[in-house]
Amino acid sequence: MCPHRRSLRTSKWCIVLFNKHSLITRLTLLLSLTTLLFSVIYAKLYYRHVFEEELARANGTVMQIGKTVSATASIAAYLEDKDLATEVVNGLISNDIILSAALVSKDTLLAKSILHSGPGSIQLKLVNPFFLSENIGMIHIAPNTLIIEQNARSIALGGVKTMLVVILPIIILLTTLVYWQVTRPLNNLGKQLAKILPGSAQRLKVDNHASHNEIGRIELGINSLLDKAEALFEQERSLRAEVVELEKRFRLMFEQSSSPTLLVKEEGDILLINDAAKDLLVGMGIDVDERFPENLGLYCKTPDILYTFTENSIKQKQVMQSEFEFLNPLTQSTVWLSIIVLNTLSDGKWYFQVFLADITLRKTMLNQLNKRAQRDSLTGLYNRYGAELMLLDWIDNQCTFSLLLIDLDKFKPINDVYGHNAGDALLKHIACQLSGAMDTTDLVCRWGGDEFLVARLDITQQELTRLAQQLLEAINQPMPFEHREGQTELAVGASIGIAHFPQHAENLKGLVECADVAMYSIKKTSRNNFTFYSE
Amino acid sequence: MRLKQFFSIILPWLLFVTCSANTTDTLVVIVHPGNLNQHISQHQLVDLYMGKYAAFPDGTLAKVLDYEQGHPLRTLFLTSLTGRPIGQINAYWSQVKFSGKASFPQAYQSIDAILEEVASTPDAIGYVPASAVTEDVKVVYRFVQ
């Protein structure tokens, strides 16, 4: 092992030991503190015990010493011999364990050491050397408690030292063992774990010899957990890939769809909007950040119907389809939108998908087609179909109106002499004249061939008479015509039959028949005149 | 020659006296007939002979007379008086001697010398076998046999 590595290992040791949160440090600290505490308690108890024992022993010794000197002391007390007493006292205090002593005869103090104070001393009775029943004095001996305490303390300390000598190596041994058996494998496990990415194929290295202990079992457990995690991750990953793929497809479908589509929350917030919808709405001047359907309602020509439509859709949870007309504020043109609202429930919440379609073109085409079907291609007036639609409408609405059926006189010869072009030109001319004579609210139509039909709402008999005359004048107005041989003027007359609704007939067919009857009565008689139908 | 004669006369007598005293006679404590103390207790005798006091119970100074060390009468007297073996009493005296506080009895050689001294000295006190008591002395204590 190179010195660098060794120092690295030492520093690791240090890190482990000096990290106050590490188990080993805590264990060591706890053990040390406990040992210290027990040592202190033990020292206290042991000291007290030893002190008492020492004190008892000292007292015993003192008594023995006292007894040893009691013969001489008795003599000293008997003779009241102060010199002998002093000798006895000096002899006593020459012992370490005796602090002070005094010798007292019956009533006088014979000798006393300097330190003697009285209390706390052991007292020994002195008897007359010749009459044992006679008390003649007392020896007071005070044991040297300081020395006894010192002795007790040193004995107790010695005991603690002995204990520590035994315990400290055990602590060190235990700490080392715990480090090698627990902390190091745990640290190792932690380091390995930190390197492992969940879901990867990485696993903990489990020592064979350690596989049966607790840490080994934890490692095995973690490895099996990692196995499961990897399997789950794998499953999750493939699922996610599928979801991503699906989402991509759906997104593509949604985003790239030429069909403008919105996903809207029940409250109206727009969650998703595809490019087609964005283009359409922005092109219509509609703010896509606003709520649905209020954003559309702003420019809708029938906003109330739109709101009712969406409300009903939400209420009934049904697929609803309708068409609405909008005004594009940017171009001031009309825009028709087809709106389909589809309710879907997802995760307990209701959403609605809104499919928009710009149907303006179709709508215009239909209108045009419709218009073309009702118009006469030559004159531009309503054709018979168009006129019938309008008249039926009037009849349905119970309007009062008068119908004038106009049949041109002598038109066929013009067609025969000057050709179809001349006939067509004349028909156009008549149509123009009639249109000029009538109001815009009136009906003017080419009923078929050289027959025209006009109708006016709410007209009096007088007005009608004047109108019929005006019409005759307008029809009689000649039309300049150029042909191969030169310029000429073409002029026709007209027979006009008039019928009133609802006066003459209840339905259109009957009414037209009435007008036809009146018109033929003119045709057969005067021509270029008008008459009213009469029953 | 004179010494030899003396010993040949004295020693058998002494032996006789001692033996007769040991076996037959009790010891008595004697004082001068003029002494005012009629009786002295055992305790007072111990105090006098062990050197505690040098005075009679009435307060008059006492001259304590004893035999020399090793005299059979002394041994008998002291052991009888104190109830201790003579060795202890000798040890007592050897301890006391150093301090000089106690008063030592004066030592005499014979009963006659004691008798003579007690008879002639008013404050003397001594002890003799009961059989040797004369009219010139007064008995103040008698050992019970």
Q: Is B92 near chain A, with CB under 8 Å?
A: yes
Contact A130 B95 (CB under 8 A): no
Contact A83 B99 (CB under 8 A): yes
User: Measured between CB atoms, which of A79, A81, A130 is closest to B82?
Assistant: A130
Question: Considering Cα of A271, then A277, then A281, then A282, what sign does the dihedral take?
Answer: positive
- In this structure, the answer to whether residues A191 and A205 fall within a common structural domain is no
- In this structure, the answer to whether residues A250 and A171 fall within a common structural domain is no
User: Got the DSSP string for A471-513?
Assistant: HHHHHHS-EEEEETTEEEEE--EEEEEEEEETTT-SSHHHHHH
Q: Tell me, what CATH number does A332's domain have?
A: 3.30.450.20
| Nearest alpha-carbon partner for B57 in B73, B76, B75, B36 | B36
Per-residue model confidence (pLDDT) at position A402: 93
State the burial class of residue B57 (Cβ atoms within 10 Å of its Cβ: 0-12, 13-18, 19+).
Answer: middle
| CB-CB contact of A409 with A492 (8 Å) | yes
Q: Is B82 near chain A, with CB under 8 Å?
A: yes
What is the rounded average pLDDT of the residues A56-79? 87
Poorest-pLDDT segment among A4-18, A58-72, A177-191, A478-492: A4-18
Top pLDDT among B144 and A174 is at A174
Fold exhibited by the domain B26-142: D-Maltodextrin-Binding Protein; domain 2 (3.40.190)
What is the rounded average pLDDT of the residues A517-522? 92
User: Measured between CB atoms, which of B46, B82, B101 is closest to A83?
Assistant: B101
Indicate whether A8 belongs to any domain.
Answer: no
Does residue A211 surpass a pLDDT of 90?
Answer: no
Confidence of residue B145 (pLDDT cuts 50, 70, 90): low
Confidence of residue A241 (pLDDT cuts 50, 70, 90): very high
Confidence of residue A514 (pLDDT cuts 50, 70, 90): very high
Per-residue model confidence (pLDDT) at position A406: 93
- In this structure, the answer to whether residues A335 and A405 fall within a common structural domain is no
Q: Is the peptide bond before B122 cis (omega within 30 degrees of 0)?
A: no
What is the rounded average pLDDT of the residues B89-118? 83
| Nearest alpha-carbon partner for B129 in B85, B76, B84, B79 | B76
Confidence of residue A405 (pLDDT cuts 50, 70, 90): very high
Treating both helix axes as pointing N-terminal to C-terminal, what angle do A461-476 and A420-437 enclose, rounded to 10 degrees? 150
- Sorted by sequence, the CB contacts under 8 Å of residue A472 that are 6+ apart come out as A493, A494, A496, A528, A529, A530
- The domain total for chain A is 4
Q: Which residues of chain B lie closer than 8 angstroms to A80, CB-CB? A: 101
Confidence of residue B4 (pLDDT cuts 50, 70, 90): low
| Closest CA–CA distance from residue A76 to any residue of chain B (Å) | 8
| CB-CB contact of B105 with B67 (8 Å) | no
C-alpha span between B27 and B20 (Å, rounded): 12
Half-sphere exposure of A190 (CA within 13 A, CB side): 7
Closest CA in chain B for residue A87: B99
Cα distances (Å, whole numbers) of residue B120 to A367, B45, B114, B140 = 193, 21, 10, 17
Question: Considering Cα of A179, then A185, then A191, then A193, what sign does the dihedral take?
Answer: negative
pLDDT digits (tens, 9 = 90+) for A322-360: 889 898 888 888 889 899 988 888 888 888 888 988 888
Contact B92 A72 (CB under 8 A): no
C-alpha span between A47 and A151 (Å, rounded): 10
Indicate whether A518 belongs to any domain.
Answer: yes
In chain A, % of residues over pLDDT 70: 96
Q: Is B90 near chain A, with CB under 8 Å?
A: no
What is the rounded average pLDDT of the residues A68-78? 88
Could you report the predicted ipTM of this complex, rounded to two decimals? 0.77
Contact A131 B95 (CB under 8 A): no
Does residue A55 surpass a pLDDT of 70?
Answer: yes
* Domain residue ranges of chain B, discontinuous segments joined by +: 26-142
User: Scanning the structure block, which residue is given the tokens 């040297």?
Assistant: A144
Confidence of residue A400 (pLDDT cuts 50, 70, 90): very high
Q: Which residues of chain A lie closer than 8 angstroms to B92, CB-CB? A: 75, 129
Confidence of residue A121 (pLDDT cuts 50, 70, 90): confident
- In this structure, the answer to whether residues A58 and A147 fall within a common structural domain is yes
For the ranges A117-121, A297-301, B1-5, the maximum mean pLDDT occurs at A297-301
What is the domain extent for residue A345? 258-364
- In this structure, the answer to whether residues A89 and A172 fall within a common structural domain is yes
| CB-CB contact of A296 with A282 (8 Å) | no
Exposure letters A368-399 (e unless 16+ CB within 10 A, then b): eeeeeebbbeebebbbbebbbeebeebbeeee
Per-residue model confidence (pLDDT) at position A18: 62
Contact B50 A78 (CB under 8 A): yes
- In this structure, the answer to whether residues A119 and A249 fall within a common structural domain is no
Indicate whether A312 belongs to any domain.
Answer: yes
Question: Considering Cα of B85, then B91, then B95, then B101, what sign does the dihedral take?
Answer: positive
Quick one: residue A80, left, alpha or beta (phi over 0 = left, psi -120 to 50 = alpha)?
Answer: left
Does residue B25 surpass a pLDDT of 80?
Answer: no
Structure tokens that stand for A158 in this block: 């010695």
Question: Measured in whole angstroms, how far is the alpha carbon of residue A195 from the centre of its chain?
Answer: 32
Q: Which residues of chain B lie closer than 8 angstroms to A84, CB-CB? A: 95-96, 98-99, 101
Poorest-pLDDT segment among A92-106, A108-122, A491-505: A108-122
SS3 (DSSP) at B1? coil
Per-residue model confidence (pLDDT) at position B21: 45
- In this structure, the answer to whether residues A232 and A263 fall within a common structural domain is no
- In this structure, the answer to whether residues A20 and A108 fall within a common structural domain is yes
Q: Order across the sheet with B106-108: list the strands.
A: B106-108, B63-67, B124-129, B27-31, B138-142
User: Measured between CB atoms, which of B43, B82, B95 is closest to A75?
Assistant: B95
C-alpha span between A356 and A336 (Å, rounded): 10
Indicate whether A301 belongs to any domain.
Answer: yes
Does residue B22 surpass a pLDDT of 50?
Answer: no
Indicate whether A9 belongs to any domain.
Answer: no
A213, A237, A256: which is the final residue of a domain?
Answer: A256
User: Measured between CB atoms, which of B51, B95, B102 is closest to A72?
Assistant: B95
Per-residue model confidence (pLDDT) at position B19: 44
| Closest CA–CA distance from residue B78 to any residue of chain A (Å) | 11
Contact A81 B99 (CB under 8 A): yes
Average pLDDT, chain A: 86
Per-residue model confidence (pLDDT) at position A454: 92
- In this structure, the answer to whether residues A54 and A185 fall within a common structural domain is yes
Indicate whether A262 belongs to any domain.
Answer: yes
C-alpha span between A311 and A293 (Å, rounded): 10
Confidence of residue A208 (pLDDT cuts 50, 70, 90): confident
- In this structure, the answer to whether residues A403 and A521 fall within a common structural domain is yes
Contact A83 B50 (CB under 8 A): no
In chain A, % of residues over pLDDT 90: 15
User: Measured between CB atoms, which of A79, A130, A131 is closest to B96?
Assistant: A79
Pairing verdict, β A486-490 and A479-483: antiparallel
Indicate whether A2 belongs to any domain.
Answer: no
> How many contacts, defined by CB atoms under 8 Å, are there between A and B?
33
Per-residue model confidence (pLDDT) at position A499: 92
Does residue B97 surpass a pLDDT of 70?
Answer: yes
In chain B, % of residues over pLDDT 70: 80
Q: Order across the sheet with A451-457: list the strands.
A: A443-448, A451-457, A401-409, A493-501, A530-532
pLDDT digits (tens, 9 = 90+) for A81-90: 888 888 889 9
pLDDT digits (tens, 9 = 90+) for A408-425: 988 888 888 888 888 999
Cα distances (Å, whole numbers) of residue A129 to A9, A72, B35 = 84, 9, 29
Indicate whether A167 belongs to any domain.
Answer: yes
- In this structure, the answer to whether residues A248 and A277 fall within a common structural domain is no
| Nearest alpha-carbon partner for A375 in A446, A425, A449 | A446
Contact B101 A130 (CB under 8 A): no
Per-residue model confidence (pLDDT) at position B11: 54
- In this structure, the answer to whether residues A410 and A360 fall within a common structural domain is no
Contact A84 B101 (CB under 8 A): yes
Q: Is B87 near chain A, with CB under 8 Å?
A: no
A223: amino acid identity, one letter: N
Per-residue model confidence (pLDDT) at position A180: 85
